[in-house]
Amino acid sequence: MNYLPIFVSTGGCRAIVVGGGLLAEAKCRALLKTAAEVVLFCEEPTSVMLQWRDEGRLQLETRACDVSDLQTARLVYAASECDHDNTRIAQWSKEAAVWVNVVDRPDACDFITPAIVDRDPVVVAIGTEGTAPVLAQQIKLDVESMLPIHLGVVARAAQQFRHRVRQLLPGLPRRRFWTDFFQRSTQQADLSPAALEATLSTLLGQHQQRAVPEGKVIFVGAGPGDPDLLTIKARRVIQEADVIVYDRLVGDHILDLARKEAKFINAGKKGFGVSMPQADISAHLLCEASQGQIVVRLKGGDPGMFGRLDEELTALTAAGVTTEIIPGITAAAAAAATLQVSLTQRGRNTRVTFLTAHDAKGYAEHDWQQLVDAEQALAVYMGRKTAAFLQGRLLMHGANRLTPVTCIENVSRRDQRAFVSHLDGFVGALGQQRFEGPLMILVGIAGVVGASDLREPVNSVGTLERGRHGSY
């Protein structure tokens, strides 16, 4: 970010607008909603500007602005239709150490004014750092449709009731009360002070009767990496969680969805590397839930797909902790979608087997003879360091050397890469491409490399018959 989003107090603030016409009107209109002292310099004021002056809402100076006028200002808007005048005002402002906004000149601005959704005192600001103001307006319309028009009334009522809610213990009990209050009050038809008072009193009595809040652990599939692939339910519980226990493959873009007050615990596990012991992860979950916390256990992909879900569930169930599972998009499904190919196809494979090439003890052994089947494709998870082992076992049991193999690194992420090879050559291709991220290997499936914004597509290796992989 080039701009830090902040809300500036306007009490006792002198804000100067220099310019005329619709540009200056727009800046004044926004400032007049605040507590700022607004001074407008305009030699040819519009009728609206004259009206504001006559109503005592702003001070109007029908002369050119001088450098001395800026000395007492905190904010300056250069809103003239003359670029030369705006440049001069910007220079004077910077010399006076006053923040300046220059209309349609993000490069000259100390601050920018975002698109605003006003539900006073609830205010939502939307900015694009001056690059796409029309887009900001479109987002504003979407947000406005989501927020009840009377949301501000409920927020002001909450401010008046805040002292009464101090009867509850600080932290989680109060936060849960306010969650219930806002959910109920924003949906009720009667928003009169008496009705809101009744809602608050009822809820406060209910929450006072609750002893220690019951903790809960929610297992959430974070998907393959793209935050847009999160389910709506997953996004909601992440935003509501008190504690986030996350795996190594869960990216920052997903963690950023959580409340800033949430507690984060990195439980990252890495194949053939240093990892948090499983017993310690389960202990963290039990400890946090026993304190009444809502704990989200964030797992990459789907929790039930090579995510050690059963081990953690067993420990929690034995301790009587309430649990919930929210599935996520597994990497194999996301890889197929990214490559624009299906996991199953008539005439190619009637089934697909999900497997990992290593387990807790190291290299994972399977019924390789069963896996060598012309009617079956393989989706191999965590196969980067065991690719040679996988290749050797399949070839040893009679797999066709020309079986297509698609490898995709960092599935669904912006830095994803992929290539199509064959069983006999994909290990060498992996070494050449130096894939270091999480890897999905699709055996028996030739993806369309270069589809769906693959940033660095690698040319296919060998000649493959698309849609068929022959016989293993």
pLDDT score recorded for residue 40: 97
Of 247, 302, 310, 453, the catalytic one is 247
Segment 411-427 shows an average pLDDT of 91
- Collapsing DSSP to helix, strand or coil, 421 comes out as strand
Task: List, for residues 310-343, the tens digit of each pLDDT value.
Answer: 999 999 999 999 999 999 999 999 999 988 999 9
Of 27, 216, 269, 299, the catalytic one is 269
Residues 76-110: b if buried by 16+ CB within 10 A, e if exposed:
bbbbbeeeebbebbbebbeebebbbbbbeeeebbb
pLDDT score recorded for residue 456: 35
Strands 59-61 and 37-41: parallel
- Collapsing DSSP to helix, strand or coil, 34 comes out as coil
pLDDT score recorded for residue 251: 85
Phi, psi at 16, each rounded to 5°: -110, 130
Task: List, for residues 378-401, the tens digit of each pLDDT value.
Answer: 999 988 888 999 999 999 999 999
- Residue 365: count of CB within 10 angstroms of its CB: 10
- Inform me whether the pLDDT recorded for 454 exceeds 80: no
Segment 108-133 shows an average pLDDT of 88
Task: Please report which helix (H) or strand (E) contains residue 327, including its range.
Answer: none
Q: How far apart are CA 374 and CA 472, in angstroms?
A: 5
Q: Report CA-CA distances (Å) from 226 to 94, 229, 251, 455.
A: 41, 6, 8, 15
CB 267 within 8 A of CB 307: no
- Inform me whether the pLDDT recorded for 234 exceeds 80: yes
pLDDT score recorded for residue 462: 31
pLDDT score recorded for residue 212: 63
Task: List, for residues 39-66, the tens digit of each pLDDT value.
Answer: 999 999 999 999 999 999 999 999 999 9
Of residues 159 and 245, more confidence is placed in: 245
pLDDT score recorded for residue 126: 92
Please provide the distance, in angstroms rounded to a whole number, between the alpha carbons at the two ends of the chain. Answer: 52
Segment 418-436 shows an average pLDDT of 89
pLDDT category, 453, cuts 50, 70, 90?
very low
Q: Is residue 121 reached through a cis peptide bond, with omega within 30 degrees of 0 on the bond before it?
A: yes
Of the candidate ranges 19-33, 166-180, 222-236, 344-358, the one whose mean pLDDT is the lowest: 166-180
What number of CA atoms fall less than 13 Å from residue 87's CA on the CB side? 3
pLDDT score recorded for residue 19: 94
Active-site annotation holds for 247 = yes
pLDDT category, 459, cuts 50, 70, 90?
very low
Segment 364-373 shows an average pLDDT of 86
Active-site annotation holds for 118 = no
- Inform me whether the pLDDT recorded for 87 exceeds 80: yes
Task: Please report which helix (H) or strand (E) contains residue 129, including its range.
Answer: none
| Adjacent-strand bridge partners of 323 | 217
pLDDT category, 350, cuts 50, 70, 90?
confident
Helix 387-396 and helix 426-433: axis angle, to 10°?
Answer: 170
Of 89, 99, 104, 102, the closest CA to residue 15 belongs to 99
Is the pTM value of this prediction over 0.75? no
Beta-carbon contacts of residue 174 (< 8 Å; ≥ 6 apart): 165, 166, 168
- Output Rg (C-alpha) for the chain, integer angstroms: 30
Segment 240-267 shows an average pLDDT of 90
Q: How far apart are CA 258 and CA 242, in angstroms?
A: 9
